[in-house]
Structure 1
Amino acid sequence: MAVHPVDRLPGPGKLLASGLQHVAASYAGVVAPPLVVGAHVGLSPVELTFLVGASLFTAGIATLLQTVGFWKVGARLPFVNGVSFAGVAPMLAIADAQSDRRDALPVIYGAVVVAGVLGFLLAPWFCRLVRFFPPVVTGTVITLIGITLLPVAFGWIQGGHPERPASPTGLGLAGVTLVTVLVLRRLLKGFLQQIAILLGLVVGTLVAIPAGAVDTTVTRHAALAGFPGPFHFGHPQFELPAIVSMCVLMLVCMTESTADMLALGEITGRRADEKVIAAGLRADTLGTAVSPFFNGFANSAFAQNIGLVAITGVRSRFTVAACGLIFVLLGLSPVCASLIALVPQPVLGGAGIVLFGTVAAAGINVLIGAGLDRGENLLIAATSLGVGMIPVVSRSFYDDAGVPETLKVVLDSGVSAGCLTAVVLNLAFHHLGAARSAPPARSARGD
């Protein structure tokens, strides 16, 4: 019996090369969320390096769960799982709700554990709920993810101090990085084009060296090998407002992963049926529930790797399993993980404009196909985007409005607030409203 291309094991050379390509395509996405959250809660460079390494390690574990799998866990498709961009905004909101941001990580970890367990239990039934997350909802949420993260990129350009004007050096480094990424994306092809952002970060960092903007202290003192010991930042703490916010995020991540599995199934020629999707969601959510024990965050599918599968034509899930193994090894080497700490914040900001802007553009692309010519869909998207933008424009908008703290943490995340608004409005316009209008329609036909 012929082996399906998804299940074929390539030779060692092709396995390693293809695995490295997937690492290159997703590395920046894996390390960006811990950089954002770590900087926001005030971690030192050494602690930030540790957090990046932990995220690489847990992303590798989640990817292996997805590609190799066990029991009913894992879609067994060439699927990279990494730290979800969608989780950044709610985690920043949770941090802002603490009296001291430095105490936020245990609260975030507790919420992520609960959200992961809830998602794992819901996986067998979630496929039946996807009808409540049509393109108008998912497109709105993805757009908000990008929009709410763009101010983070601007803050990086300002050296991590959004209240201060950007310096000429910061603007220059961000500009060099941004232009480099755009030029490389335009001129390069294939594998090199896939790693244009990574190459842009390298170029920006090299330019920053003579400007005195690179701090090598962390790398000089980093160990060659290490392990992200459990509960490095404290044992998980469970606070209801944070849990609600992360559970909403989990539903969003599960929706995105479902869409990605359907797309990848078409590309690989192995259609993702309900059984495959349920197994894939179990891998997503189990990886998320386990990650906080090793100081990681929520994991979900990385769509950019789906494009890589389509471009290269290499459909073997074992090439992505090799990527997961490389992530694990990187996470076990602090000196490798510390290399990202060499990148100055303005350089990250220049790349972040492309990175986060691409997420927003992807959401807009989904909305284009969501039927906005229908008045109700336009209202759903417009209202949800407006509600989601409130905390982006004004972080103190709800401070004196008498909003309960449980609800405030959700509303202070543009992604969570926009998602809830979109789901409720979609129910009102397309489900509850449709049910109410059904009898009059039958009556009209009867006349």
Structure 2
Amino acid sequence: MAATPGQKSEGDRKHPVDATLPPFKMFTSGLQHVAASYAGVVAPPMIVGPACGLTATETAFLMGAALFTAGIATLLQTLGFWKIGARLPFVNGVSFAGVTPMVAIAKSQSPAHALPVIFGAVIVAGVLGFALAPYFSKLVRFFPPVVTGTVITLIGVSLLPVAFNWSQGGTEGAPDYGSLTNIGMAALTLVIVLALRRVLRGFLQQIAILLGLIAGTLIAIPVGITDFSALGDAGLIGFPTPFHFGAPQFSLAAIVSMCIVMLVCMTESTADMLALGKIVDRPADERTIAGGLRADTLGTALSPLFNGFANSAFAQNIGLVAMTKVRSRFVVATSGVILIVLGLCPVAASVISLVPLPVLGGAGIVLFGSVAASGVQTLASAAMEKGENALIVAAAVGVGLIPIAAPDFYRNFPKDLLVVLDSGISTGCLVAIVLNLAFNHFGRREADPAADGHGADAPPAPTVPPQPDRGRADDADTPAATPLP
């Protein structure tokens, strides 16, 4: 039926992912994403810098570079161009998967060569990942609800220890680590966020996390856990000079190590895109995942130019999108611009860093718990009462929890394998995929309508719903969405 004058037809309506908000709402919502991801972006350089023998000033420079490159990668992911970018509300930042290998590389090199060797390996890994992206994306058909629900749940559960660590102070071994003051501030922030979500309405309810962080930081000032020293030491402008630590150097062992990290990052990013696609009601098809992986890997290849590390999609922000219901990718693109400004303006970055880690930890419990809840919701559609799906989930979650419950479990394994084994998300994802193939694909019982990992009422081979037009230049030559198993 034709639309009446002044009324938008069904095809003219923008998907919430492609919608824009008023400027003030766009900025505050974007700032909320920055607040949720800031600690995750700067934490890896805070660890790698001292391992490479950097001074406090040089490490601060490395942190600014991480913010700057995270902003660029986020814009590539959210806005995109050509076949690059998932065009979903994803923040991209420094991947934690690369921290352990980079520290190992630093220990094997002299301080003068540590970062150049790391940067050379990251460049090669990014280029390799970019080439593999279209092939890696074909794995989407091996991610039915029984797999995606398991992985989403593991993402949330794996992130919760980060929030617990922040709640205790963030630095294990520090005099106040785990003090009643730190834990009390985290608990108070958690209560404030929950209370704001309960009593506020509309837009204010959507930015409850940001308001909770501001309130927690203000309360922390008289408590004495807000550190203002960074403001006095920070300069107004600080551009991350290209190859500040020297031209990249290429070591075969370091390259192999970082290429493995890149594959791990691509696995986690694929799971993250599938999770976010469900949350924003735009299922991530093969084309979306290929574009997202290209953005990840291109951002990774470009980051060393500005002294940055490997980038990947940040799972932290999935919980924020799920909680606030703000699905616009332009909100997250705004956060990318903010990250770039923070990277170019150390003073501005220092203002964000005023949020004490215990305060961030209290809010993080809600954020990361929301991710796990989304995973449980996805599993509800996987017909857990039929077939072998419950067994798949049990084994995958059990293996995925090993690095969390027993961090030293794999201590006697080869160091190269630890890149994968120490990531519960990666190991759980691999176990879920392999078991889904074994039970639901090879020799599948045709009489079992739920044997494919979907709900009992789902047809045997549902296809991904058609995607709304996102303004891609490659729409004409892109194959149709791959049917799910």
TM tier, smaller: 0.7 to 0.9
Residue 137 of structure 1: CA displacement? 2.0
Out of 31, 44, 49, the residue aligned to residue 24 of structure 1 is 31
Q: 1:99 to 1:17 in 2, by over 3 A?
A: closer
In the alignment, what sits opposite 2:305?
Answer: 293
Say what the alpha-carbon RMSD is for the aligned residues.
4.0
Instruction: Map 1:313-392; keep pairs closer than 5 Å.
Output: 321-392=333-404
Q: What SS does the aligned partner of 1:83 have?
A: strand
Return the letter of the residue paired with 2:159.
L
Q: 1:262 to 1:154 in 2, by over 3 A?
A: closer
Deviations 1:37-76 (A, max 9, x none): 345557687566545543442333234334543333345x
In the alignment, what sits opposite 1:399?
Answer: 411
Instruction: Map 1:113-132; keep pairs closer than 5 Å.
Output: 113-132=123-142
Deviations 1:374-414 (A, max 9, x none): 342211111111112112122221223xx222223311222
Query: Conserved in 2, the CA contact under 8 Å of 1:149 and 1:356?
Result: yes
Residue 146 of structure 1: CA displacement? 2.1
In the alignment, what sits opposite 2:160?
Answer: 150
In structure 2, distance between residues paired with 1:424 and 1:82: 28
In the alignment, what sits opposite 1:222?
Answer: 234
Residue 437 of structure 1: CA displacement? 11
Q: 1:18 to 1:259 in 2, by over 3 A?
A: same
Using the aligned pairs only, state the percent identity: 50
Query: Conserved in 1, the CA contact under 8 Å of 2:319 and 2:370?
Result: no
Which range is displaced more, 111-120 or 23-32?
111-120
TM-score (norm 1): 0.78
In the alignment, what sits opposite 1:133?
Answer: 143
Query: Conserved in 1, the CA contact under 8 Å of 2:70 and 2:93?
Result: yes
Instruction: Map 1:122-201; keep pairs closer than 5 Å.
Output: 122-162=132-172, 166-201=178-213
In structure 1, distance between residues paired with 2:243 and 2:231: 23
- Of Structure 1 and Structure 2, the greater helix share is in 1
Which range is displaced more, 98-107 or 257-266?
98-107
Instruction: Map 1:229-308; keep pairs closer than 5 Å.
Output: 229-231=241-243, 235=248, 238-258=254-274, 260=276, 266=282, 275=287, 278-294=290-306, 295-300=308-313, 302-303=317-318
Q: What SS does the aligned partner of 2:313 have?
A: strand
Instruction: Map 1:196-215; keep pairs closer than 5 Å.
Output: 196-215=208-227
Q: 1:374 to 1:97 in 2, by over 3 A?
A: farther
In structure 2, distance between residues paired with 1:391 and 1:49: 30
TM-score (norm 2): 0.73
Return the letter of the residue paired with 2:220.
A
In the alignment, what sits opposite 2:457?
Answer: none
Query: Which structure carries more relative contact order (alpha carbon 8 Å, separation 6+)?
Result: 1
In structure 2, distance between residues paired with 1:190 and 1:392: 37
| Alignment coverage as a number of residue pairs | 421
What runs of 5+ residues in structure 2 fail to find an aligned partner? 1-8, 449-485
In the alignment, what sits opposite 1:70?
Answer: 81
Query: Conserved in 2, the CA contact under 8 Å of 1:25 and 1:194?
Result: no
Residue 232 of structure 1: CA displacement? 5.2
In structure 2, distance between residues paired with 1:138 and 1:273: 13
In structure 1, distance between residues paired with 2:101 and 2:162: 16
Q: Is 1:37 aligned to residue 44 of structure 2?
A: yes
Which range is displaced more, 329-338 or 252-261?
252-261
In structure 1, distance between residues paired with 2:355 and 2:219: 11
In structure 2, distance between residues paired with 1:141 and 1:107: 33
Q: What SS does the aligned partner of 2:383 have?
A: coil
